C-alpha cells in the first residue's frame, strides 16, 4: 500500500468482505481522474461558467443559448474521456456479487461505459440522452454534437424544429420523483453505502446517504476533501479514488 496506506483501509476491506448488500453513491470526484473537472472545486466548471446563468432551468426556458454555450465548451473535455480505475473497481465489486446498485449524481455515462450491469439511478440525468420539448422526439447525442461543432446558434429538433433539451437536471429543475423513490429503496435496503467523490452539498441527492444510515447501513466515505457530512461516516478516507477504491476492492 506504500504511501497510500490508511489504517482504515483494512477496516473497510473487512466490512465489504462480509457484506453482500452494498450500494455505491457517486459524485463528480469519481470522474476527475478521467479528465472531467469537479464542478465546485477551485478552478472547476462553475468558476468559469456561472451555473445560475448557464445551467439554470428557468434561464434555459427563456434564453437557451447560454446552456448551449456551456455544452459547446464541454465537448473537448467529454469527447475523449473514459472511465477510470475507480469506475472499473465498482464493476469488480459487482462481479463479486456484492454491489447491488449505483446511485450517481454524474451525467457522464461512465458507469455504463465501464461495464456496470447493476441498476444505475442517475439522479441528475445523462448527457447522452435528449428530447424535443415540443414534439417529444428522442434526440441522439451525435446529432447535438455535430450541430454544435459545425453550426452556429442553438440545436433544433430535426423533426419539428422545436426546442431540444438534454436529460440533464439543471439548477431549479426538480428531480423526477420515481428516481428519488428508486434511490431511496436501494439506500434503505443496503448494509453498506460507499460514498465516493461527492461533496454532499446538493439537495436532495445528499439526503440519500443519510437515509441509508437511518435504516442501519454503515457509510464509508472516500473523498479527496472533507465534507460537512463526515460526522455521519462509519469510516472516512481522504485520497484519490482511483487509488483507494481498487486497492480495497481487490483485497476483498
pLDDT on residue 82: 96
pLDDT on residue 2: 45
Q: Label residue 109 left, alpha or beta by phi (over 0 means left) and psi (-120 to 50 means alpha).
A: left
Active-site residue flag, 124: yes
Query: Peptide bond preceding 204: is omega within 30 degrees of 0, i.e. cis?
Result: yes
pLDDT on residue 76: 87
Helix (H/G/I), strand (E/B), else coil: 223: strand
7-44 pLDDT, tens digit per residue, is 889 999 999 999 999 999 999 999 999 988 766 666 66
pLDDT on residue 156: 97
Question: pTM for the full model?
Answer: 0.93
CATH class label, 2-38+83-126+175-249: alpha beta
208-237 pLDDT, tens digit per residue, is 999 999 999 999 999 999 999 999 999 999
The one catalytic residue in 87, 111, 124, 129 is: 124
Angle of helix 85-95 relative to helix 241-249, nearest 10 degrees, comes to: 20
The segments of the chain whose pLDDT lies below 50 read 1-3
Q: In angstroms, rounded to a whole number, what is the distance separating the alpha carbons of residues 32 and 36? A: 5
What is the average pLDDT score of the chain? 93
Give the domain ranges of the chain: 2-38+83-126+175-249
Amino acid at each position: 500500500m506504500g504511501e497510500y496506506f490508511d489504517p482504515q483501509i483494512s477496516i473497510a476491506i473487512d466490512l465489504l468482505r462480509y457484506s453482500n448488500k452494498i450500494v455505491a453513491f457517486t459524485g463528480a470526484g469519481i470522474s476527475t481522474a478521467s479528465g472531467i473537472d469537479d464542478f465546485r472545486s477551485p478552478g472547476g466548471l462553475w468558476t468559469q461558467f456561472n451555473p445560475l446563468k448557464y445551467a439554470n432551468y428557468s434561464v434555459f426556458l427563456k434564453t437557451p443559448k447560454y446552456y448551449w454555450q456551456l455544452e459547446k465548451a464541454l465537448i473537448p473535455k467529454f469527447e475523449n474521456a473514459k472511465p477510470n480505475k475507480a469506475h472499473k473497481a465498482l464493476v469488480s465489486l459487482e462481479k463479486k456479487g456484492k454491489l447491488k446498485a449505483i446511485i450517481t449524481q454524474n451525467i457522464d455515462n461512465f458507469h455504463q461505459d465501464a461495464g456496470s450491469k447493476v441498476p444505475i439511478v442517475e439522479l441528475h440525468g445523462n448527457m447522452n440522452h435528449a428530447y424535443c420539448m415540443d414534439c417529444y422526439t428522442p434526440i441522439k447525442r451525435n446529432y447535438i454534437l455535430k450541430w454544435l461543432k459545425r453550426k452556429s446558434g442553438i440545436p433544433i429538433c430535426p423533426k419539428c424544429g422545436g426546442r431540444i433539451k438534454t436529460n440533464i437536471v439543471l439548477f431549479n429543475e426538480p428531480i423526477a420523483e420515481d428516481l428519488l423513490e428508486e434511490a431511496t429503496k436501494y439506500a434503505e435496503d443496503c448494509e453498506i453505502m460507499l460514498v465516493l467523490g461527492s461533496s454532499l452539498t446538493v439537495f436532495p441527492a445528499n439526503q440519500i446517504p443519510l437515509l441509508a444510515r437511518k435504516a442501519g447501513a454503515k457509510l464509508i466515505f472516500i473523498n479527496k476533501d472533507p465534507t460537512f457530512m463526515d460526522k455521519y461516516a462509519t469510516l472516512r478516507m481522504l485520497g484519490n479514488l482511483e487509488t483507494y477504491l481498487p486497492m480495497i476492492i481487490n483485497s476483498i
